[in-house]
Amino acid sequence: MDLSKIKDPTFLTTYSNLQLRQLSDEIRQFLIDSVSVTGGDLASNLGTVELTVILHKVFDSPKDKIIFDGGHQSYTHKILTGRINDFKTLRQAGGLSGYQKRNESVHDAYEAGHSGTALSAALGMAIARDLNKERHHIIAVVGDGGLASGMSYEALNQIGENKHPVIVIINDNNTSSTRPAGKVTKNISKLRISKSYNSLKSDVKNVLDMGGLITKPITSTVDALSNLVKKNVGNESYFSDFGLSYIGPFDGHNIAGLVKVLEYAKKSKESIVVHLKTTKGKGYTPVEKSRSNHWQAAQFDLETGEAKVTLPAGHMSNAEIVSTTLKRIASVDPSIVAVAPGRLEQLKLEGFFKAFPERSFDTGLTEDHATTLSAGLALAGKRPFLAIQSTYLQRAYDQINHDIARMSLPVVIGVDRAGLVGEDGETHQGIFDIGLLKPLPNLVIAEGKDSQETQNLLYTAFQQDQPFALRYTRGNEAYLPVKEFSPLEIGSWEIIKLVDQPSAIILTYGKEVVTMETKARENNYPWWIVNMRFIKPLDNKTLETVFDQGVPLFIYETDLLIGGLSESILAVKNQCHNASPLFVKGIKDEYIQQGSIIQQRKELAIDTNSVVHWILENS
């Protein structure tokens, strides 16, 4: 069919299984072609095509609420709800979001960019539905990785306790953004590979291949199959202990079977768990065979599946610079261990895990657990490196505060993707961590201006005994390994004096130090550049020197101003009764929408040219 003419999913009610199969194949090919140009979450969406098509055939969206955990696997949902013509703008400024988005469509009942939230939201909607005496279904699609998060576990506990029906669909592709970790994931794995899936595979196929709508005899057969599954799977009690009915695992790509199973779940008067086995990257060989499964792929070549974007020679991503340095330091310090709440590939920790398997711990998508695990390791004399992206650090704030900072434990927190992150949009921006972490006593916060300073800061972090958060942005830099590490004095800043008597002093941190210095040298601007590499504690001695110059001061931040460095500096300035003019540039009180980092910086007027113009205009 002409996919561009789809306005809503109502047409699916008349489609035969053959037509549904053809439609699924067409959608899958469209996704491959489209995402190869724009980039996006290809693998997860290829794996949920049939599931999403049948969800929209069986259920009545938007009356029935369909929630995709994390939202990143909702591309087919967007196509079936009339948004295919916007896919050329996927994850671009002003374009189609890579996640469910309520302001895009009435069919998007919920929105999130973090996993583990769908079940709690679904239960809330189900309770409200019943209080309002409404009649519709709430369906939560959760991956096996998201199911292992603590929040999902807590939600399951209450879903089973409450009499507010929710349909829970486990999209089990055995390849979340983390490798399987922990007992919960192992329980799912046992369900997946148990007798019910192997010995009974032919029985499942016989039941699901019968076609047509569920009838009473078919329902009885599914009931019998469910009971047989339960009888043969020792870990079925995983769900029954929550008070939840469970059926599965079933083939998540079998059209006829999906219709029957979801019709069966739809008729359930109580909450039910439907376990579907899917293939991430289904239908596109390069992704199916890929070790990474193209988790958040960039633009790629259709024939080979290889990414079109490559790093310049001699460059590494900032995360890889940190992980490479960590490996180097750990090679001579056996007390160093690494902890990651999943996402090893994004965090670039695969090399460390391979080199030191006994000193590496992947907790799955459990940021809070990973953080307190690190605290326990530190209490027992180890030196943990906790790698966590800034957006997910928010989920472990209580543990950083209560379990690490309060006891002043020497945990080094690698805050990856700090600052603007671009196309992932407001759910993933790393602009909040400074404001979150700065109020915490005992905690040191730092960010290097280049790869060499970042290496020395990481070394410094392991030479002292306080909790230490090292920020590094999304992006890449030229990697020049330091020949010998040089520890930096905690709280020390660097003044780059281009002249003896400056006309303006610019205080900034991170790579902006280098860009501002380069701009000043190229144009012979009579400035001093202050490298505020330690965001906390402040370098009061350097501040005194800066205040004594009596020239305009410009604080240039690329994160949220609320809770930022400028607030701390202004407080010191007021205490000193200093009269020097002070100007502040940074991100105001707002969520930053998707777009390239370059676009976002320009729109926020924190790009280099805008900042230079601002300085010249006010000095």
Q: What's the Cα-to-Cα distance from 145 to each of 78, 217, 312, 366, rounded to whole Å?
A: 23, 35, 33, 10
Q: Find the catalytic residue in 348, 395, 417, 536.
A: 395
Q: How many CB atoms lie within 10 A of CB 16?
A: 11
Token duo for residue 580: 């020097």
Q: What is the DSSP string of 108-129?
A: -----SSTT-HHHHHHHHHHHH
494: annotated active-site residue? no
Q: Find the catalytic residue in 129, 280, 348, 471.
A: 280
Label the pairing between strands 383-389 and 412-418: parallel
d(CA 379, CA 382): 7
367: annotated active-site residue? yes
Task: Identify whether the C-beta of residue 490 lies closer than 8 Å to the C-beta of residue 538.
Answer: no
d(CA 407, CA 466): 9
Label the pairing between strands 444-447 and 468-473: parallel
Torsion of CA 461, 466, 472, 478, to 10 degrees: -10
| 3-state secondary structure labels for all residues of 463-532 | HCCCCEEEEEECCEEECCCCCCCCCCCCCCCEEEECCCCCCEEEEECCCHHHHHHHHHHHHCCCEEEEEC
Q: Find the catalytic residue in 50, 320, 367, 423.
A: 367
Q: In 379-423, at which residue ranges do the beta strands (DSSP E only) sit?
A: 383-389, 412-418
Residues paired with 554 in a beta bridge: 506, 583
d(CA 542, CA 533): 12
Q: How many CB atoms lie within 10 A of CB 314?
A: 10
Label the pairing between strands 494-497 and 527-531: antiparallel
Query: Which residue do the tokens 């209450």 mark?
Result: 158
280: annotated active-site residue? yes
Q: How many CB atoms lie within 10 A of CB 569?
A: 21
d(CA 505, CA 496): 10
Give Cα 458 to chain centroid, integer Å. 23
Catalytic (active-site) positions: 280, 367, 395
